[in-house]
């Protein structure tokens, strides 16, 4: 996994995690990476500097959101995915492959795939992303 500092064409800065640099490149090229602030898909990598510790004392992470903020962000992301995609259920691997091969029109879909099916899609150069599970309810 790799974390990139990103910037949209509206100068909003944000971070996202990707499996590797090729995954980011493919998703960005296909306009599947969007700014969480303005939804722009004109996203590029921002200048990043490596984190270098100055002492051996553990340092607190300063930009890490609180757990409640992370849960809120996941909930909002899930709601957006659910609202903007069509659930094709277990037909997902077949339909996403048909879209990739140009057999059917491109469309935002979601569905289920076994680990083997997901691995096969990725190995064939088809970009897919898992939808995170619903965060647990607060007590």
**Using one digit for the tens of pLDDT, what is the confidence trace for 11-53?**
998 888 888 888 888 898 999 999 989 999 999 988 766 665 5
What pTM was estimated for this model as a whole? 0.52
For 34, 58, 59, 126, the CA distances from 55, given in Å and listed in that order, are: 36, 8, 9, 43
Domain boundaries, the chain: 1-46, 65-130
Query: Per-residue pLDDT tens for 78-126?
Result: 999 999 999 999 999 999 999 999 999 999 999 999 999 999 999 999 9
| Long-range interactions of 31-34: CB distance < 8 A, separation 24+ | 32/127, 32/129, 33/6, 34/8
């Amino acid at each position: 996994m790799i974390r990139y500092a990103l910037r949209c064409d509206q100068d909003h800065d944000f971070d996202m995690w990707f499996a590797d640099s090729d995954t980011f490149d493919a998703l960005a090229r296909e306009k599947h990476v969007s700014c969480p602030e303005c939804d722009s898909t004109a996203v590029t990598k921002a200048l990043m500097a490596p984190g270098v510790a100055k002492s051996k004392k553990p340092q607190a992470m300063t930009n890490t959101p609180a757990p409640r903020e992370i849960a809120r962000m996941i909930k909002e992301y899930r709601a957006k995915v659910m609202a903007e995609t069509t659930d094709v259920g277990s037909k997902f691997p077949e339909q996403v492959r048909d879209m990739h091969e140009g057999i059917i029109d491109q469309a935002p879909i979601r569905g289920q795939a076994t680990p083997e099916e997901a691995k096969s899609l990725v190995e064939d150069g088809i970009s897919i992303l898992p939808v995170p599970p619903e965060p647990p309810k607060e007590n």
